[in-house]
Amino acid sequence: MADPVYIADCGAVRSVPLDGLTVVYHVSSGMTHIVAPPAPEILDALGAGPADAAELLRRLGARFAFEGGEVIHARLNELEAAGLVRRA
């Protein structure tokens, strides 16, 4: 089975960094989320367009020293459960 491709509705999200964390307001649901790295970076990377985990790792790796091969699936699942990303 092919790896799922994820989409973030970046136009409907407002992020504000607060110390080391980020608060994210999701306009569509009216919900506020407090997220820790690398969740904000994943949302940001998805802003460049839909991507599967491998493509996301490539985008993140180009900007950060990111070694999150296993972590990324867990974070994507959490972001999906929160309604901040969805599968294409």
Partner 1 sequence: MRHQFDVQIGAVGFRIGSAWPGPLDALADLYRGYPAPEGGIADFTVRLEPEKPWRRFLRPSVAIRGDYVLPDAAPLPLALGLLAAEMGMNLQMALGQKNWLLLHAASVEKDGRALILTGESGAGKSTLAALLGERGWRLMGDEFALLDLESGMLLPFPRAVSLKNKAIAVMEAEAEAARFGPRLAGTPKGDIRHLRPNREAVERMGEGARPALILFPRFGAEAAVRAVGQAETFMRLTQASTNYVALGEPGFTALTRLVRAVPALAIDYPDTATALGLVEDFRQELAA
Which residue of 1, 2, 11, 30 would you call a contact of partner 1, by CB under 8 A? 30
> Per rule CB under 8 A, is residue 5 in the interface with partner 1?
no
Taking the complex as a whole, the smallest distance from the CB of residue 75 to partner 1 amounts, in Å, to 18
70 is a site residue for partner 1 (CB under 8 A) = no
Q: Footprint of partner 1 on residues 8-27 (CB under 8 A)?
A: 14, 16, 18-21, 23, 25, 27
At 71, list the tokens: 């972590």
Residue 83's region, left for phi above 0, alpha for psi from -120 to 50, else beta, is left
- Contact set for partner 1, span 34-63 (CB under 8 A): 34
Report long-range pairs for 51-55 (Cβ below 8 Å, ≥24 apart): 51/5, 51/6, 52/2, 52/3, 52/4, 52/5, 52/6, 53/3, 53/6, 54/3
The least distance separating partner 1 from the CB of residue 45, rounded to whole angstroms, comes to 22
